Structure 1
């Protein structure tokens, strides 16, 4: 294996494009023709590479490591990929808590906005991204193979503070769990959007609809290499950077989009159907209802958002000067624009401004000016998109509550991988539409689950069977296990060829396994668990050479 290492000791943030200002109530009649500026995020730092990472065409596996000290995420941009069908690219972090697989069909999903046809895989959180080009058995490398990395982008967390008139009163979403579970649970439907621009997005209703601003995601080119981060929230209230359960979902296609002027700055789009369906996006994270009524001055609001000038775990703005933040006035006589005093920051563009009473969306956050922040009024937004969203699907859908996530990389058919550990006694249950068969018993056995797998090379959807086993002091048993164990509980995942006789030996697949997790003590639904699987299948994976180049 050829291994190249690139390291940087730091990154320099760029200038802030525009700041969000905190509004305070004014006694004077507001100037309604000053709409302000969109709450755009700070651009990432772009670092050029400009090389074919395949330096030795005899190698069946070539690896590249990119490390930028202090970076919160790294996103790669490839301008040319020429590989034989059957070869694939793996992107991961060093601990393999994130692993993403891409084949030739993915390489066709390009974005022309960068001045060339660019393919960009899902970003890697943290300082280090690993790229591996794999030629499985039966696929021969050639001198014409090219994987040309044009450049990569890095971002820091919390690059700037833009609250000017007063104190930033936003707090991590998790802190509302004990105060008002309505705010916490409804905010699950809001996600970080890394698409054409960086902003915030949210799920609409009970079908595959997502909403944000047009200046965040207005074209299919923007979506082609984008990603949506659900569950990008702090795990504990005292540490807002403790984000261990992010779920990254591919966007799909634009359904309809307005213009980038303030009142029509909206974009309705769908998520990738495979991810949406198999990751149980609506069941786990919920969806929001767009209110069809006009707002009133004094209506109280709260805004779940991901803005801070850099990438930021979700916070909620619900107060201003110790009181509930609220609608201050309207931008125009028709009330198409709603002005409010909830705190926002660069990166908040596209957030939902929700009613503190009904939890319905009252405005689509757009921008700010010196005396207030502003969003597209929900009644006007609904009028623009209602022909694309059936009225009976525009409903509030509560998420499951706390969602835990795990990544499982399976290069071996014989080893069971521990997907997640729980300190407390828990039991597991599948969703209603999943095919599960229990073998053995609760203390000595396993369960099989048939899920959809996406063939990385062909893009075909194939059935894949995995074995799930619950491990505790009572033994290793099937999903029916309920054990009073002082040592906690683990859920293990394994892949067996004997369970998958119809799958080709050289296939690489990605899958999702969603589960419900219940507290064994009283049986209440404690968590949702979402396991993503990258299965490179051992018979199709070459033995890696150990050559290392660079340091």
Structure 2
């Protein structure tokens, strides 16, 4: 209910934006903007449960699994996790391509060297999500542990009180909104442009996906040279929202139009730094817990100038909770490219580049510089982004917006052309010290 109330609040706020001349355009009913996406509009749902994983009388590993047929992800919440020294619990997919490791309850300072986690306003913590419809939870003992019954009485082991499952592809399709697909949806997997538009492809790597409270999805991106990221305020309103969020970079298809989605690299929350409300600039600046893990994906810089009508733009993002796509053309591949249609209207700039639910927080990049010129946050065709120069004026002292020397950039591009290996898309769990 709290999330539904937040959605209604955001909806009313956006309608206020649409009615207020200082903030939103008033040309016609067709230009009235609505919220493009809010995490309260779910991409998954919570399931209550009472699952115990205890030490056994024999062996050194004991497992249970949560299976939700066709689910896009499974995220597990531990009400309690108490382990003997040297033991651990892992949450993984059945093939162990993705493994998150915990040595105790991190909210109690008992997970040194373990994977990142999220917190959800109740006792315990949640593991980072697992892609796919099955999560395997395994207790690993360093040594054989006699006295299993006694350990259980003392509360050792794990207790899972709830989990979240991502909607199936069919469920998500039923819920998808097309308010911001302007004409024909011209978005394509980012890899489709790897050869034809190598710079746009490279810049899109700094764009990731947020999963809030196991339920909602938005787009985030790295900004500047330090541990800083941006998204919309309506995607992350508070410190509590950040604590309940995880982020994945590199979640994109390996082949154009394929179904071979890469797992990517998942990280947990860091510091809530600065925000501006939905009816103002609608941004949140924050950090993540392990910036080194996502440094391989590069970063974006802000273009601290006003947009110009007619200039070419492009938008990478995670609309409809799909693998990352790039909006480069308005309707037809090789046809009219995305451009600024309304240079300035209140705090916004307008365009007909295709977006959809989940694109909130996407960067709008100027093709002339490949820097961010707006922060996408509203839809309705035209779609709208907060002019980034306004955001920059508020956060300039909090970020390092200085690009590296051109020579360094040129050398790195040359290395890629010569066949330098692509960055690893997944980092292993950290081992204990």
2:178 paired residue among 150, 163, 177: 163
User: 2:255 is matched with which residue?
Assistant: 236
Supply the distance in 2 between the matched residues of 1:531 and 1:152 (Cα, whole angstroms).
23
Supply the distance in 2 between the matched residues of 1:175 and 1:384 (Cα, whole angstroms).
36
User: Does structure 1 conserve the Cα–Cα contact (< 8 Å) formed by 2:120 and 2:244?
Assistant: no
Taking CA–CA contacts closer than 8 Å with sequence separation of 6 or more, which of the two structures ends up with the larger relative contact order?
2
User: 2:162 is matched with which residue?
Assistant: 151
User: 1:202 is matched with which residue?
Assistant: 221
Supply the distance in 2 between the matched residues of 1:216 and 1:103 (Cα, whole angstroms).
31
Gaps of 5+ in 2: 12-25, 110-116
Q: In the TM superposition, what are the counterparts of 1:419-434 in structure 2 within 5 Å?
A: none
2:190 paired residue among 163, 173, 190: 173
2:73 is equivalent to residue 63 of structure 1: no
User: Does structure 1 conserve the Cα–Cα contact (< 8 Å) formed by 2:79 and 2:161?
Assistant: yes
Change (3 A) 1:270 1:238: same
Q: Which has the higher strand share?
A: 1
Supply the distance in 1 between the matched residues of 2:261 and 2:285 (Cα, whole angstroms).
27
Deviations 1:99-119, CA, capped at 9 Å, x for gaps = 1111235244886645x2341
User: 1:351 is matched with which residue?
Assistant: 362
User: 1:299 is matched with which residue?
Assistant: 311
User: 1:430 is matched with which residue?
Assistant: none
Change (3 A) 1:139 1:267: farther
User: 1:342 is matched with which residue?
Assistant: 353
Task: Give, in angstroms, the shift of residue 331 of structure 1.
Answer: 6.5
Supply the distance in 2 between the matched residues of 1:52 and 1:107 (Cα, whole angstroms).
19
Supply the distance in 1 between the matched residues of 2:350 and 2:264 (Cα, whole angstroms).
32
Task: Give, in angstroms, the shift of residue 346 of structure 1.
Answer: 0.6
SS in 1 for 2:125: coil
Task: Give, in angstroms, the shift of residue 86 of structure 1.
Answer: 3.9
Supply the distance in 1 between the matched residues of 2:204 and 2:130 (Cα, whole angstroms).
24
Q: In the TM superposition, what are the counterparts of 1:265-276 in structure 2 within 5 Å?
A: 265-272=282-289, 275-276=290-291
User: 2:322 is matched with which residue?
Assistant: 312
Change (3 A) 1:36 1:117: same
Supply the distance in 1 between the matched residues of 2:97 and 2:250 (Cα, whole angstroms).
15
User: Does structure 2 conserve the Cα–Cα contact (< 8 Å) formed by 1:302 and 1:355?
Assistant: yes
Deviations 1:158-201, CA, capped at 9 Å, x for gaps = 72243355211111111111221111111011111113541111
Gaps of 5+ in 1: 1-13, 20-27, 403-517, 538-551
Deviations 1:200-256, CA, capped at 9 Å, x for gaps = 1111122211111122233333333532211111111131x2113522223322122
Supply the distance in 2 between the matched residues of 1:341 and 1:134 (Cα, whole angstroms).
52
TM-score by structure 2 length?
A: 0.78
User: 1:329 is matched with which residue?
Assistant: 342
Task: Give, in angstroms, the shift of residue 51 of structure 1.
Answer: 3.6
User: 2:423 is matched with which residue?
Assistant: 528
Q: Which has the higher helix share?
A: 2
SS in 2 for 1:256: strand
1:385 paired residue among 379, 384, 395: 395
Task: Give, in angstroms, the shift of residue 364 of structure 1.
Answer: 0.8
User: Does structure 2 conserve the Cα–Cα contact (< 8 Å) formed by 1:66 and 1:129?
Assistant: yes
User: Does structure 2 conserve the Cα–Cα contact (< 8 Å) formed by 1:326 and 1:341?
Assistant: yes
Deviations 1:507-542, CA, capped at 9 Å, x for gaps = xxxxxxxxxxx89xx9531423366345879xxxxx
2:35 paired residue among 16, 34, 37: 37
2:224 is equivalent to residue 211 of structure 1: no
User: 1:417 is matched with which residue?
Assistant: none
User: 1:191 is matched with which residue?
Assistant: 208
User: Does structure 1 conserve the Cα–Cα contact (< 8 Å) formed by 2:302 and 2:392?
Assistant: yes
The answer to which of 358-367 and 244-253 deviates more is 244-253
Task: Give, in angstroms, the shift of residue 129 of structure 1.
Answer: 0.7
Supply the distance in 1 between the matched residues of 2:119 and 2:225 (Cα, whole angstroms).
32
User: Does structure 1 conserve the Cα–Cα contact (< 8 Å) formed by 2:55 and 2:157?
Assistant: no
User: 1:512 is matched with which residue?
Assistant: none
TM-score by structure 1 length?
A: 0.62
Deviations 1:411-436, CA, capped at 9 Å, x for gaps = xxxxxxxxxxxxxxxxxxxxxxxxxx
The answer to which of 244-253 and 196-205 deviates more is 244-253
2:138 is equivalent to residue 123 of structure 1: no
Supply the distance in 1 between the matched residues of 2:297 and 2:423 (Cα, whole angstroms).
9
Q: In the TM superposition, what are the counterparts of 1:218-257 in structure 2 within 5 Å?
A: 218-239=237-258, 241-257=259-275
SS in 2 for 1:319: coil
User: 2:19 is matched with which residue?
Assistant: none
Q: In the TM superposition, what are the counterparts of 1:25-104 in structure 2 within 5 Å?
A: 29-30=27-28, 34-40=32-38, 42-43=41-42, 44-54=44-54, 61-104=61-104
Deviations 1:245-293, CA, capped at 9 Å, x for gaps = 522223322122222x143321111122xx322x3x33x2111111110
SS in 2 for 1:264: coil
User: 1:515 is matched with which residue?
Assistant: none
User: Does structure 2 conserve the Cα–Cα contact (< 8 Å) formed by 1:317 and 1:344?
Assistant: yes
